[in-house]
Structure 1
Amino acid sequence: MHHLSEKVKKHESSKTHMDSCLRFAAFGRVNIATQLDESYRLAVRRHNDEVSKNQHILARLIDCVKFCGVFELALRGKDESEGSNNPGIFRGLVDLMASLDEAFEEHLKTATVFKGTSKTVQNELLESMLAVIRGHIMEEVKSAKFVAIQADETTDVTTQTQLVLVLRYIDSNHAVQERFFEFLPVMDATSESIASVLLDRLNGLFSEGDREKLIAQAYDRASVMRGERAGVQQKVHAHYKNAHYVHCYAHQLNLIMQQATSHVPAVRVFFSDLCGIATFFTRSPKRTSILDQIVERRLPRASSTRWNFNSRIVNTVHENLDDLMQCFESIRTSGSFDSTTVREASGFLRMLQDEDFQFFLQLFHHIMPHVDMLYQQLQKKDIDAVFIKHALQSFTSSVQVIRDSSQQQQEVATGTTRPRRALGEEEKQKLSREICNTILDQAKQRFSFSDHLVSATLLKAEMFEQHCHTFPVEALNATVRAYPMLNKAKLRTELSLIYENPEFRSCCGALALYQVLQRYNLQETFSETVALLNILITTPMTTAEAERCFSTLKRIKTFLRNAMGQERLNALAMLSMERELVRNMSDFNERVIDHFAALKERRAKFQYK
């Protein structure tokens, strides 16, 4: 300290100190070279003016491509040359944009270096958009505590097997997100091929240290996917130990109803006849015309894989039974239909008048609304194991009420004398009970929670009072075994406090409880409970989002565009399915421009100096 003053003066005279002062004075300001060199400053100004113009033009082109992607429209036409009558949607949008923007119109007329309407520029813009959106999703995945995947495969119009990958996680705003990531081409639909492609993509998403973040994988019912020894889920689980398999619950519901209807021959015949009514009217516009005149309502087509369609036709026929009878009677007596139509109409009329048919129609009219309600709940994005458990209890209780009512009807009918029919009253009530029992048994078997979903019972609000007196030790042990990252002792303490607090008993589902803890900033206090809630919410109950992706695939990759490249397909699908994400990214165009400019050396200037 005695020589400090001398050393300070010496340092102030050093070159290093003076250079640092110069850099500090110029920090955050215009480069000092522009202040010293007027010509350099003018050159930078001209460069930046040109960049502003080019970015304005490129932003308009991005808007045109984005519009086509959001509404799943083909960019290119049959002939994009000047004066063509079919230049395509993209060129049409460009011309419309030019008519509203003088600078853009002038650019299209005078541009010699970069016009921006070529198919190469379209592909590069789509590549940049895909990279920006996918980069944003990967940032969300990295910040998420846990991630789950949904995967399913289908064949597109070119008979190429496509595997869709959807990521599910909770974002930084505590909202549940199911993001489409990409379509992956697969050589064949075997478990080895699908697992190889899926693992290759997952290894690119998760580093070696982040593999425990993948806590669930959801597929459909195919044995290729769910096989316990050689299935895709087992091959993925071998590399990602926390990635527990969840069978799609919407597929489970379809299997339950298929079992209930195929188990009894009379019910199988009933649905076959019911589906024949819709098919009868779709085969002829003349038949459809008389249906519109008398019934004033079209009959929905049934589907063997989506029971909500079967529910629609049951309800439609039940509500319009008398009008349908009148319609078939009109076809028989009008004299304007051919003999085949008259013969089939006579058969359907006798079928609608049959008491056995009406009995099954009435029974399934009572059952199907509950199936519909459960199906709609399974299609939601923000569902969790706790919510599903409650929904399943409501469904089984409703079916049990229908079964009990049939038992009471049988007791009333016992001892009465009725004329002999194809099915007597006792047989009808027996069939009604058998159908309800099949649904209840199948629901109990197929919707039984596996070990890693037993944790949902820990957070059922209606069980909190019971758990307060008798703590569910077995469920806690199963939960910790499935998710070893949880601290068992701390989790038990936190759950005990939640069970004792009456304010938490009004929370319906894991998501509601999670939001309450976030709202009151209790995530640090109840850290293990929040982690468990995060796992339950992240775990998907259905592959509904994957199924919706296939609808977009079919719309984008039609027979007119079946030669589309995989990257272009992924970019268009991403723009369509994640349109809300694109809309919410305020700097989307700027980020696309930066990526587009960095793809390769360009003669046109897009970066400021």
Structure 2
Amino acid sequence: MASTVRKSLLRGIRKARYYGLMFDTTPDLAHREQMSQVVRYVEIDYERNTVRVRESFLGFIQVSRKDAESLTKDILEKLEKDGMELQDCRSQCYDNAAVMAGHRSGVAQRIHEKNNLAVFVNCDNHSLNLVGVHAAKEDVKMVTFFGTTDSSYVFFSRSTQRWQRLKNAVTVSLKSESETRWSSRTEAVKPVNNHLEEILQVLQDMIDDEDETIETRGDAEQLRSHLLTYGFLTLLGFWNKILARIDGVQKRLQDPKMNFHYAAVHLKALQDRFDGERKVLVSEALEVGHRLCEEWDVDFERRPRWKKRMPGEKSRDAGLTAREEMERVMKGTLDRLNRELGERFTRLYDTDAKFGFLLDIEGLCYSADTENLKKNCENFCKMYSTDVDVQLCDKILDVRMLLAAQTDMRVATPEQLLKFIVQFGYDATYPNLPIAIQIMLTIAVSVASCERSFSKLKLILSCLGASMGQGRLCDLALLSIEREETDKTDFDGIIDQFASMKARRVQL
């Protein structure tokens, strides 16, 4: 049955012809390291006139060595086994590990040497995760803040009695943090920010409850004192807003329908928003922190922190009040965020600058600019000369004319444009444009689909099933992950085929 599903997926990939590679490796699981293979392609159904960008899971590859040469060999052998031509590959997307993304001898560079049309883009979801991780480590106060947040979860989760008392007072549960999954910090900070008063009251009740152990009462008092500090109360609202905005972009990047042009637009908008709201975010956080300190009678106007006086500074410049110190810390974090957002997505921005015009439907189909269009088409045709010809610009202008005549409809996405061309039979008249858009849509921006397959892998390959063979493991994972394709399978035909096979007696 799994072989039937795999053959169906491979037929769809071969029919689409152009595809993008997505690979990611998992840590050692039951003493077997696995590499997930996902292929991104555009599925066009000419009978139903539908267009869909798909990311199909094809299986796991058991790896013994994780150097670039060995991983490249495993990938090429898997492609050959599946009957997929490497020359039809038009994109690669891996995580930011040097062995995968190294520009000299990484897996991406080795495959690019064999096929120079296989464009590589880093996993932007991993990159955005690193942006947040490094910004959170910009200052000691930031590290202390997240440590206190995580301590709240640890304190309550260590005892079922404590957890029940918390659940009786708070409608939502506290969450733990994770270094590799930045969205977990959003889930950890949000309930503390929204239910701080209730959490503090639960801690106070534990401190006053003489039936509690002395260790519990002591830990509760220590945690409450850490929560009721000027730094924590100020940074709580500050990080709650920042994390919510980062998490919103991360969730969009994990959508299989996301293309690199929209990803670049979202990331650039996030950077501009942090840059434009820099003063507002800091001032609002300071005001909220000041108000909470007054409500909870927290003393924060302590002696200023004096630092070494540098040449050119006046004596008053060397002393910072608590408010000035917190303002410095938050502005430094926002500057780090802005700098990281500008540096970690240069490859994505370069790809968007070269070929993003094909996915910018408003500019491609409804703009009156032809000079930039000609220049961009020339660059595209020069690189993809084996796929499209020099008439690409003329075909785009013809499609503009056809869309202008369609007053009752307006395309807004690349998928809708492809559907328009297929629906009216223009794919035979204007083949260059559909091919160009298909190639661009194969470029992935995240390996989230590979990460999702690891979630299934942990359920299938547990310690109890460590002796499971690699073939059975891949088959079970394929049936579970590609559930949509599995439901389309004709079980009657498989059962009849199985029943027609020669039965053999097994001697016990």
Task: Indicate the TM-score class for this superposition, using the shorter chain for normalisation.
Answer: 0.7 to 0.9
Aligned counterpart, 1:151: 23
Structure whose alpha-carbon radius of gyration is higher: 1
**Does residue 349 of structure 2 align to residue 455 of structure 1?**
no
**Does residue 171 of structure 2 align to residue 300 of structure 1?**
no
- Check conservation: 1:299, 1:313, Cα contact below 8 A: yes
Aligned counterpart, 2:48: none
Q: Residue deviations 1:196-249, cap 9 Å, x none? A: 111111123346xx4321111211111111112221112222333322222111
2:179 aligned counterpart, secondary structure:
coil
Cα distance between partner residues in 1 of 2:97 and 2:63: 16
Cα distance change, pair 603–589 in 1 and its aligned pair in 2 (3 A): same
**Does residue 65 of structure 2 align to residue 188 of structure 1?**
yes
Alignment gaps of 5+ in structure 1: 1-128, 413-417, 605-609
Aligned counterpart, 1:352: 227
Selected match of 2:35 from 144, 152, 163: 163
Cα distance change, pair 434–491 in 1 and its aligned pair in 2 (3 A): farther
Aligned counterpart, 1:362: 237
**Does residue 174 of structure 2 align to residue 317 of structure 1?**
no
Cα distance between partner residues in 2 of 1:356 and 1:462: 46
The offset of 1:407, in angstroms, is 6.9
Overall identity of the aligned pairs, in %: 23
Aligned counterpart, 2:309: none
Aligned counterpart, 1:291: 166
The offset of 1:289, in angstroms, is 2.0
The offset of 1:379, in angstroms, is 1.5
Q: Residue deviations 1:224-278, cap 9 Å, x none? A: 1111222111222233332222211111110110121112222122112211111
The offset of 1:602, in angstroms, is 4.5
Q: Residue deviations 1:155-176, cap 9 Å, x none? A: 4542111111112212232222
The aligned amino acid for 1:181 is L
Q: Which has the higher helix share?
A: 1
The offset of 1:574, in angstroms, is 1.3
Aligned counterpart, 2:390: 489
> What TM-score results when the alignment is normalised by the length of structure 2?
0.83
1:171 aligned counterpart, secondary structure:
strand
Cα distance change, pair 131–579 in 1 and its aligned pair in 2 (3 A): same
Cα distance change, pair 345–481 in 1 and its aligned pair in 2 (3 A): farther
Aligned counterpart, 2:493: 590
Q: Residue deviations 1:4-33, cap 9 Å, x none? A: xxxxxxxxxxxxxxxxxxxxxxxxxxxxxx
The offset of 1:583, in angstroms, is 1.0
Cα distance change, pair 474–330 in 1 and its aligned pair in 2 (3 A): farther
Cα distance change, pair 143–462 in 1 and its aligned pair in 2 (3 A): closer
> What TM-score results when the alignment is normalised by the length of structure 1?
0.70
Q: Residue deviations 1:394-442, cap 9 Å, x none? A: 3234323431424777999xxxxx9457763333333333322322222
1:468 aligned counterpart, secondary structure:
coil
Aligned counterpart, 2:295: none
- Check conservation: 1:146, 1:535, Cα contact below 8 A: yes
Cα distance change, pair 331–467 in 1 and its aligned pair in 2 (3 A): farther
Cα distance between partner residues in 2 of 1:411 and 1:461: 43
- Check conservation: 1:384, 1:510, Cα contact below 8 A: no
Aligned counterpart, 1:213: 88
- Check conservation: 2:373, 2:393, Cα contact below 8 A: no
The aligned amino acid for 1:279 is V
Selected match of 1:137 from 2, 9, 14: 9
The aligned amino acid for 1:439 is L
Cα distance change, pair 525–389 in 1 and its aligned pair in 2 (3 A): farther
Aligned counterpart, 1:479: 380
Cα distance between partner residues in 1 of 2:472 and 2:285: 63
Selected match of 1:527 from 431, 437, 441: 431
- Check conservation: 2:264, 2:349, Cα contact below 8 A: no
Aligned counterpart, 2:338: 440
- Check conservation: 1:461, 1:507, Cα contact below 8 A: yes
Cα distance change, pair 184–469 in 1 and its aligned pair in 2 (3 A): closer
Selected match of 2:123 from 244, 248, 261: 248
1:363 aligned counterpart, secondary structure:
helix
- Check conservation: 1:315, 1:365, Cα contact below 8 A: yes
2:149 aligned counterpart, secondary structure:
helix
Cα distance between partner residues in 2 of 1:239 and 1:571: 30
The offset of 1:517, in angstroms, is 3.0
Selected match of 2:469 from 565, 576, 581: 565
Cα distance between partner residues in 2 of 1:240 and 1:602: 48
2:369 aligned counterpart, secondary structure:
helix
Aligned counterpart, 1:51: none
Cα distance between partner residues in 1 of 2:382 and 2:209: 72
**Does residue 268 of structure 2 align to residue 393 of structure 1?**
yes
Alignment of 1:374-389 (within 5 A): 374-389=249-264
**Does residue 443 of structure 2 align to residue 539 of structure 1?**
yes
